[in-house]
Amino acid sequence: MTIQTATDKVADSARHLADDVLQSAQDAVQSTRSAANNSLEKAEESMRTLRSQADPVIDDLAARAQELAARSIDYCAETGAKARQKLNEAAEATNKYVAEQPGKSLVIAAVSGAALAALLMMASRRSPRPTHHAY
C-alpha cells in the first residue's frame, strides 16, 4: 500500500465520517422541528379547548349582567314613580290644608320663616370670619 492509497483511504473515511455527522445533524434538526411542531399543535388545540369552554361562561355572565341591569333600571323607574306620587300627595295635602285653614297656615309659615332666619343668624355669628393681616 502506498502513501497515496493510504491517504486516499483516510480522506474517504473522513468524508464518510463528515457525511455521517452531517446526516446525523440534519436528522436531529428534522427531529427537533417535528417535536416543536407537535408541541405547537398541542398548545393550539389546548387553546381551542379552553376557548370553547370559556365562551359559554362568558355568554352566561353577560346575560346575567344584562338581566341585572334591566332589573335595576326597572327598580329605579318604579322608585322614582313612587317618590313622585308621594310628593304629589304631600303637595295636595298641603294645598288642601292651606285652603281649609288659611289663618293657621299663615302663622305656621311666619313662625317657620322666623325660626329659619334665627338659625341662619346664629350660624353666621359662630362661623369664624377671615382675618386680614397687614403685611
pLDDT tens digits along 71-103: 999 999 999 999 999 999 999 998 998 899 999
pLDDT tens digits along 39-70: 999 999 999 888 888 888 888 999 999 999 99
The domain total for the chain is 1
DSSP 135: -
The pTM of the whole model exceeds 0.75:
no
What contacts 97, CB < 8 A, 6 or more positions away? 105
Structural domain span for residue 78: 12-121
DSSP 51: H
Residue 109 located in a structural domain: yes
Residue 106 located in a structural domain: yes
